[in-house]
């Protein structure tokens, strides 16, 4: 099974409510470019889960519009969720062809913890804004995935 993990694009500075921060124009462009660079791989995605924060919803919608898919809002994808909670949710999913590959759109530190934890790579794989990682595994558990590729914004 493949799991794609995307960090939201560049967002407005923190001036109040973190959950309400929107993507900047530059952030929208960066996400669109990453989508263009990995269009063939993204075409395989069958489901999109995103954090409820505005910037992740906007990032997910850029991908969803290209793929013609809906975005499912998942509270567990906020940045300070323990990675194990996400792994538990993934482990409960049946490997139904219509739901995999799955794209998760979230924040730091969660995206970095998921990528590096699943691959058992410490902090070897940084996840900057608009970074998109593709992992494959039979079981979603720490140290059990292989990083197929990691695309950073151009």
- CATH code, domain with 129: 3.40.50.1240
The answer to whether 110 touches 77, Cβ cutoff 8 Å, is: yes
- The domain in which residue 54 lies consists of 2-151
What is the number of domains present in the chain? 1
Phi, psi (deg, nearest 5) at residue 139: -135, 135
Give the CA distances from residue 7 to residues 97, 125, 138, in Å, rounded to whole numbers and listed in that order. 24, 13, 23
Average pLDDT over residues 45-66: 97
Q: What is the pTM of this model?
A: 0.95
Average pLDDT over residues 86-110: 87
Average pLDDT over residues 28-45: 97
**Lowest-pLDDT choice from 6-10, 21-25, 94-98:** 94-98
- What pLDDT band is residue 111 in, cutting at 50, 70 and 90? very high
pLDDT at 93: 81
Cα distance between residue 54 and residue 96, in whole Å = 29
Average pLDDT over residues 79-103: 86
């Amino acid at each position: 099974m493949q799991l794609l993990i995307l960090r939201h694009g560049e967002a407005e500075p923190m001036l109040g409510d973190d959950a309400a921060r929107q993507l900047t124009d530059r952030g929208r462009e960066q996400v669109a470019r990453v989508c263009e660079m990995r269009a063939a791989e993204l075409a395989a995605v069958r489901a999109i889960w995103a954090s409820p924060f505005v910037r992740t919803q906007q990032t997910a919608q850029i991908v969803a519009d290209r793929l013609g898919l809906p975005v499912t809002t998942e509270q567990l994808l906020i940045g300070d969720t323990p990675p194990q909670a996400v792994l538990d949710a993934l482990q409960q999913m049946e490997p139904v062809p219509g739901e995999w590959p799955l794209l998760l759109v979230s924040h730091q530190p969660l995206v970095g913890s998921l990528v590096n934890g699943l691959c058992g790579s410490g902090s070897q794989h940084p996840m900057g804004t608009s970074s998109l990682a593709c992992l494959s595994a039979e079981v979603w558990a720490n140290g059990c995935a292989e990083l197929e590729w990691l695309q950073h914004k151009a």
